[in-house]
């Protein structure tokens, strides 16, 4: 008999599979905050500050050895939520105990339960938005999108992709081989989808749910148990997620320990120990390249998916809509203070300037125009903080300050903006620097946060060559070309195919390279050092399960 949660969500799952086949614009989760209720935001804010700061977060997990926590909102207030700290071995043991029944339930039931978890997460989007805002520094509007519908979309996309792959495996087949006048050979064959093992998901400090839901739901849907290890600066959004998943699993008749939270602190990290445990068979990670590379090199017992980013490039050759281009670039550099692995960092422009319909804009003018576009976007502090949010990490702040100090050629300084509501928040406008083309040590290194380099080259061909080198060697998630010349666009497309980086062509208006849409945009490819997998292609889900067969004479 079909599981009731599968019955409830069967149509949704069908639509989601259709969406990944057609890759158009589709989402079951409303992204207009009005849909969630006119008073929801204010009520949510009050509820959030009543419920969480200085509270003990309840999770009935096994192996509790103490409590930990201590998140600090980038907007100022100490959250100081305390979470149960559990022994990783206890969580792994409980996860293994929980898996056989989850495996036997089959793909439909698992997909249905996952869809139900996502529906309940969606209903809690406002709460997740506040939790995300006050751990990542995102503005509320961005946090709502990022932790709410956009993250839920990525989760459902992973479920749909996993479900489709599992449904390719027949449950049973009668194999009948004709043999002329002799009776046919007949076998009764059964096929079972079995999980790879316990999955470990590392979420990052700047997009904790968005960056982790693909891995969590891909593993869970394919039968694996999932241990979520959040960044110690951004535990709460995942704690809410895990609590809700556990509650849903229990109501669905499964063991809550299929999803658990592993909390540590920056002072006593557990990540490396846990990542090497033989029972951890899948790892999903989003975060800095150093630990991502360490995982790829050392967690040999596991299938490892990382998203580490690198150096995202823009090549400016010509612009049919010069003002539109500047506005688009200015916004993309400012959004969430560049604290996105998809934010552009290095802008190449040829020494002869930027061709526009009526003239050619010299490089220095282009620099000034871009600085002005950033300035005009961020002129009004109330609007500016909605775009910029706050700087999440003191390390990012220190990086901006260090670059501004020792770096000579400042195109636009990182201004400090006072946040109208949160005076303690560190808010900075993007730092724009001009960097010499021959010094890749500057523009070819990732500088996470609101920093961009403008690099003057001899020709657009050189711009493309340097961008390709940076993307190939350092990796990239996004690549932009602005040109009215079909040959140049073609060269950029070729470089995009060779390096495996998504290419945005002449992007103006209200779509930005650092945002990607579930069901339509592949996030990363796996083809360059920025990431070892793609959200969400079939390679991201297929290795999470095995097919085991039995047969007998029929």
Cα–Cα dist 22/231, whole Å: 35
Residues 507 and 489: beta-carbon distance below 8 Å: no
193 vs 452, which CB is nearer to a second copy?
193
Interaction of residue 546 with a second copy, rule CB under 8 A: yes
- Within residues 440-479, the interface with a second copy by CB under 8 A covers none
Residue 169 touches a second copy, criterion: CB under 8 A:
yes
Q: Which of 251, 445, 473, 493 contacts a second copy by CB under 8 A?
A: 493
Of 418, 450, 416, the residue nearest 433 (C-alpha): 450
CA–CA distance, 105 with 252 (Å, rounded to integer):
11
Q: How far are the Cα atoms of 144, 201, 243, 297, 535 from residue 121, in angstroms, in the given order?
A: 12, 18, 10, 34, 20
Stretch that binds a second copy, among 62-70, 171-179, 237-245, 356-364 (CB under 8 A): 171-179
Residue from 174, 266, 267, 268 in contact with a second copy (CB under 8 A):
174
- Residue span binding a second copy (CB under 8 A) among the ranges 109-117, 208-216, 437-445, 542-550: 542-550
Minimum distance from residue 542 beta carbon to a second copy (Å) = 4
Q: Which stretch binds a second copy (CB under 8 A): 42-50, 175-183, 285-293, 364-372?
A: 175-183
What DSSP assignment string belongs to 223-245?
T--EEEE--TTS-HHHHHHHHHH
What is the Cα 157 distance to its own chain's centre? 13
Does residue 106 interact with a second copy by CB under 8 A? Answer: no
Q: Please identify, among the stretches 269-277, 398-406, 416-424, 541-549, the one whose residues bind a second copy according to the rule CB under 8 A.
A: 541-549
Which one of 7, 14, 22, 37 is in contact with a second copy (CB under 8 A)? 22
User: Would you count residue 278 as binding a second copy (CB under 8 A)?
Assistant: no
Asked if 18 interacts with a second copy (CB under 8 A), we say no
Interface residue with a second copy, options 14, 24, 269, 351 (CB under 8 A): 24
| Stretch of 7-15, 50-58, 112-120, 510-518 contacting a second copy, by CB under 8 A | 510-518
Closest CA relative to residue 538, chosen from 200, 112, 162, 12: 162
Q: β-strand 280-286 against 303-307: which pairing, if any? A: parallel
Q: Does 500 bind a second copy (CB under 8 A)?
A: yes
Closest CB to a second copy among residues 168, 372: 168
510 binds a second copy (CB under 8 A): yes
Q: How far is the CB of 192 from a second copy (least distance, A)?
A: 6
Tell me which of 192, 404, 413, 437 binds a second copy, using CB under 8 A. Answer: 192
Least CB distance from residue 351 to a second copy, whole Å? 26
CB of 397 to a second copy, least distance (A): 33
> Which two tokens mark 268?
């006593």
| 3-class DSSP state of 290 | helix
Dist. CA 130–CA 44, nearest whole Å? 8
- Residue from the set 51, 65, 78, 173 that interacts with a second copy by CB under 8 A: 173
Which of residues 21 and 364 has its CB atom nearest to a second copy in the complex?
21
What is the Cα–Cα distance from 209 to 286, expressed in whole angstroms?
11
| Beta carbon nearer to a second copy, 82 or 538 | 538
Q: What is the DSSP string of 362-396?
A: -HHHHHHHHHHHHHHHTSSHHHHHHHH-----HHH
CA distance 427 to 518: 29
Which of 429/506 has CB closer to a second copy? 506
The smaller minimum CB distance to a second copy, of residues 247 and 508, is found at 508
Q: Which stretch binds a second copy (CB under 8 A): 42-50, 143-151, 172-180, 413-421?
A: 172-180
Site for a second copy contains 276 (CB under 8 A): no
Residue 228 phi, psi dihedral angles, 5° rounding: -100, 120
Closest by Cα among 202, 194, 227, 213 to 92: 227
- For position 502 contacting a second copy by CB under 8 A, the verdict is yes
Helix, coil or strand: residue 506: coil
Of 23, 67, 372, 383, the one binding a second copy (CB under 8 A) is 23
Report the 10 Å Cβ neighbour count for 84: 22
Contact code string over 518-537 relative to a second copy, x by CB under 8 A: --xxx--xxx------x--x
For position 549 contacting a second copy by CB under 8 A, the verdict is yes
> Contact, 468 vs 304, CB < 8 A?
no
176 part of the interface to a second copy, by CB under 8 A: yes
- Residues linked to residue 78 through DSSP beta bridges, in sequence order: 72
User: Which residue in the set 50, 54, 177, 486 belongs to the binding site for a second copy (CB under 8 A)?
Assistant: 177
Q: Which of 272, 239, 226 minimizes the C-alpha distance to 71?
A: 239
**Residue 257 contacts residue 62 (beta carbons within 8 Å):** yes
Give least dist CB 210 to a second copy, A: 18
> Taking a C-beta distance cutoff of 8 angstroms, is the pair 276, 148 a contact?
no
Q: Does 294 bind a second copy (CB under 8 A)?
A: no
Q: How far is the CB of 537 from a second copy (least distance, A)?
A: 5
Q: How far apart, in Å, are the Cα atoms of 203 and each of 223, 232, 308, 472?
A: 20, 10, 12, 25
Q: How many amino acids of this chain bind a second copy (CB under 8 A)?
A: 63
Report the residue number, 398 or 511, with the smaller CB distance to a second copy: 511
Rule CB under 8 A: say whether 286 interacts with a second copy: no
**Contact call for residue 141 and a second copy (CB under 8 A):** no
- Whether the CB-CB separation of 281 and 196 falls below 8 Å is answered with yes
Q: What are phi and psi of 94, to 5 degrees?
A: -65, -40
Distance of CA 27 to the CA centre of its chain: 17
Could you say whether residue 49 binds a second copy (CB under 8 A)? no
Nearest to 204 by CA among 44, 477, 359, 393: 393
Q: Which is nearer to a second copy, 150 or 412 (CB)?
A: 150
Binding site for a second copy (CB under 8 A): 20-25, 103, 164-165, 168-170, 173-177, 185, 187, 189, 191-192, 194, 196, 297, 300, 493, 496-497, 500-511, 517, 520-522, 525-527, 534, 537-539, 542-543, 545-553
């Amino acid at each position: 008999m079909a599981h009731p949660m599968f019955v409830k969500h069967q149509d949704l799952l069908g639509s989601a599979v259709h969406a990944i086949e057609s890759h158009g614009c589709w989402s079951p989760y409303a992204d207009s905050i009005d849909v969630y209720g006119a008073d929801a935001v204010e009520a949510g804010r009050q509820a959030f500050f009543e419920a969480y700061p200085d509270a003990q977060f309840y999770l009935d997990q096994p192996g509790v050895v103490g409590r930990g926590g201590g998140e600090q909102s980038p907007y100022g207030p100490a959250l100081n939520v305390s979470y149960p700290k559990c022994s990783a071995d206890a969580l792994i043991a409980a996860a293994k105990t929980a898996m056989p029944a989850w495996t036997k339930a089959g793909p439909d039931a698992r997909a249905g339960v996952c869809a139900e978890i996502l529906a309940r997460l969606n209903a809690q989007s406002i709460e997740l938005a506040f939790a995300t805002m006050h751990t990542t520094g995102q503005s509320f509007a961005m946090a709502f999108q990022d932790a709410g519908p956009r993250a839920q979309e990525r989760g459902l996309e992973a479920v749909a992709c996993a479900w489709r792959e599992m449904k390719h495996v027949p449950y049973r087949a009668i194999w009948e081989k004709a043999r002329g006048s002799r009776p046919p050979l007949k076998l009764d064959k059964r096929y079972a989808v079995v999980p790879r093992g316990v999955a470990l998901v590392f979420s990052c400090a700047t997009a904790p749910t968005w960056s982790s839901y693909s891995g969590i739901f891909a593993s869970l849907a394919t039968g694996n148990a999932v241990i979520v290890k959040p960044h110690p600066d951004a535990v709460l959004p995942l704690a809410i997620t895990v609590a809700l998943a556990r509650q849903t699993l229990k109501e669905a008749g499964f063991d809550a320990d299929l999803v658990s939270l592993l909390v540590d602190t920056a002072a006593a990290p557990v990540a490396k120990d846990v990542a090497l445990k033989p029972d951890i068979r899948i790892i999903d990670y989003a975060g800095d390249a150093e630990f991502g590379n360490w995982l790829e090199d050392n967690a040999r017992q596991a299938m490892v998916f990382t998203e580490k980013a690198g150096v995202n490039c823009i090549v400016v050759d010509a612009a049919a809509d010069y003002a539109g281009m500047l506005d688009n670039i200015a916004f993309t550099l400012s959004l969430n203070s560049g604290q996105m692995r998809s934010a552009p960092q290095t802008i190449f422009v040829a020494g002869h300037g930027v061709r526009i319909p009526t003239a050619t804009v010299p490089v220095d003018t282009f620099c000034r125009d871009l600085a002005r576009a950033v300035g005009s976007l961020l002129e009004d502090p109330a609007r500016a903080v909605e775009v910029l949010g706050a700087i999440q990490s003191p390390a990012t702040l220190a990086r901006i300050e260090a670059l501004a100090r020792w770096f000579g050629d400042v195109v636009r300084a990182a201004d400090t903006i006072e946040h109208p509501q949160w005076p303690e928040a560190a808010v900075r406008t993007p730092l724009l620097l001009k960097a010499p083309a021959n010094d890749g040590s500057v523009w070819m290194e990732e500088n996470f946060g609101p920093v961009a380099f403008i690099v003057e080259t001899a020709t657009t061909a050189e711009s493309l060559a340097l961008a390709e080198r940076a993307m190939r060697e350092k990796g990239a998630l996004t690549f932009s070309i602005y040109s009215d010349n079909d040959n140049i666009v073609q060269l950029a497309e070729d470089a995009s195919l060779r390096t495996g980086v998504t290419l945005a062509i002449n992007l103006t208006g209200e779509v930005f390279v650092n945002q990607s849409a579930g069901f339509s945009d592949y996030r990363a490819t796996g083809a360059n050092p920025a990431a070892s997998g793609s959200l969400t292609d079939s390679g991201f889900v297929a290795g999470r399960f095995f097919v085991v067969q039995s047969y007998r004479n029929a």
